[in-house]
Amino acid sequence: MSRLLLERAYEAVIDAGINPKQLRGSRTGVFVGTCCSESEVNWFFDKPKETHFGLAYYKNMQANRISYYLGLTGPSHCLDSACNSSLVALECAYQSLINDRCDNALVGGSQLCLHPYMSLQFSRLGILSPDGRSKVFDVNANGYARSEAISVVYLQKAKNAKRIYGTLVYGRSNCDGFKEQGITFPSSKMQSQLLQECYDHCNLSPNNLSYLECHGTGTTVGDPEEISAIETSICKKRTDPLLIGSVKSNLGHSEGGSGLTQVAKVFFFFFLILNLSKYRIYIKPFKTLEMTNNKF
């Protein structure tokens, strides 16, 4: 994953109209979100090499290798907060920029499915789809399909940017805390609170929102909780239905790397697909979504 992230980071810098050599010695931070380094288990523990120490298999090297190769002197972190890891990395990069801890930032998300036992454990947890398909917000949703993703975006202040795909207005995160249902059960209450805090902090009205890219894993527990949170925090005073979606129906769930995959979807494809009716696929939504009085 370290090599693939380095390749994507190099491409992101060039895509921004910058020669990577110009960043050497700069206060550019690197923030990578990842869940599991399955190659660490496979190559460092199961198949140890006698000729060298396997630095590349540690998760921290996913960020540190980029900083080393490009000569970047800003913060260099690898963050693990499960499935929202890459979005937490994006939030950390945002906070570092506005607090002057770095001048630019490379933000990455990574997930490679390299060890079969990892999929086995997720299956035992009961969150994977038996038919290997992610069917987000669908009445037939029965879990998600694991997938892979390596994504990197380059953040810089708008006044210095040569190419802008989107503007990062704010970043915030929270935690559910204790729940009687268990640690893996999502909390619509805390999700709703987080959304409300974000809009209040930015002094923005949720009524101005045209589209919301959801986490949307296609699980029978997660999707209804997320819809409940969105309805409570965003749709109370809406007069028009809110368009929602999740890239996981197309690409599966890349877990730690999924957040940036969704960001990429919105930037590159959303407005095109919205205006091409032949790409629209209609599904029968699950019952909770049908009971929201046409708010979605």
C-alpha count within 13 angstroms, C-beta hemisphere, residue 146? 20
CA distance 153 to 33: 12
Of the listed 35, 36, 102, 215, which one is catalytic? 215
CA distance 73 to 62: 16
∠ Cα 63 66 72 (to 5°): 105
Decide: 173 and 33 in contact? Cβ < 8 Å. no
Of the listed 35, 83, 92, 235, which one is catalytic? 83
Radius of gyration of the chain from its Cα atoms, rounded to whole angstroms: 20
Would residue 201 show up in a list of annotated catalytic residues for this protein?
no
**Phi, psi dihedral angles at 159 (to 5 degrees):** -65, -20
Decide: 102 and 27 in contact? Cβ < 8 Å. yes
Q: Which two three-digit tokens encode residue 180? A: 């009687």
Decide: 221 and 253 in contact? Cβ < 8 Å. no
C-alpha count within 13 angstroms, C-beta hemisphere, residue 191? 20
Would residue 215 show up in a list of annotated catalytic residues for this protein?
yes
Burial tier of 279 (Cβ tally within 10 Å: 0-12, 13-18, 19+): exposed
Max CA distance (Å), the chain: 66
∠ Cα 75 64 3 (to 5°): 140
Residues annotated as catalytic (active site), given as ranges: 83, 215, 253
